[in-house]
Structure 1
Amino acid sequence: MVKRHYRRIRDLIVIFQVPPFLGSNAMNDLTSSEIQELRDLLEVEKIRRVKQLYSHLMDSGQIDALANIFTEDAVCEFGPEYGNWEGRETIRSNYKNVFSGQNSFQAMHHCTNHWVDLTGPTTATGRSYLIDVITTTDAEGQPIVWFGVYDEEYQKVGQQWQIKRCTLQFLWPTRMTMPSFETPYPVVS
Structure 2
Amino acid sequence: MDTTHALQTLLDREAISALIRAYCYHFDRNEPEQLAALFTPDAVVDYGPEAATLHGADAIHAAVATGLNTTFAATSHHVSNIDIRLESEDFARSICYLYAWHRYHSGAPDGELWAQYHHEFLRTPQGWKISRLTLKAAGMKDFHRRSMHPIGRR
| TM score, norm. by length of structure 2 | 0.84
| Cross-structure match for 1:124 | 92
Deviation by residue 1:15-40 (Cα, 9 ceiling, x = unmatched) = xxxxxxxxxxxxxxxxx623311211
* Number of residue-to-residue matches in the alignment: 145
Rounded to whole Å, the distance in 1 between the matches of 2:24 and 2:138 is 19
1:28 matched residue in structure 2: none
Letter matched to residue 148 of structure 2: M
Deviations 1:121-150 (A, max 9, x none): 1110000111001368xxxxx755111111
CA deviation string 1:63-99 (max 9, x = no partner)? 1010000000000011123231001100000001111
Report if the CA contact (8 A) 1:154-1:162 is conserved. Answer: yes
Deviation at 1:183, TM superposition (A): 8.8
RMSD value over aligned CA atoms? 2.4
With normalisation by structure 1, the TM-score equals 0.69
Native 8 Å contact 1:131 1:144 kept in 2: no
> Which of 137, 156, 160 pairs up with 2:127?
160
Question: Which of the numbers 6, 9, 21 marks the counterpart of 1:52?
Answer: 21
Residue in 1 that maps onto 2:31: 62
1:76 alignment partner, one of 28, 31, 45 = 45
**Structure 1: where are the runs of 5+ without partners?**
1-31, 137-141, 185-189
Q: Which has the larger radius of gyration?
A: 1
After superposition, residues 1-189 of structure 1 pair within 5 angstroms as 33-101=2-70, 102-103=72-73, 106-134=74-102, 145-173=112-140, 176-177=148-149, 181-182=151-152
1:108 Cα deviation after fit: 0.4
Contact 2:48 2:135 in 1 (8 A): yes
Q: What SS is found at the alignment partner of 2:30?
A: coil
For residues 158-180 of structure 1, what are the alpha-carbon distances to aligned partners after superposition, in whole Å with 9 as ceiling and x for unaligned? 141100000000221266326xx
Larger % of strand: which? 2
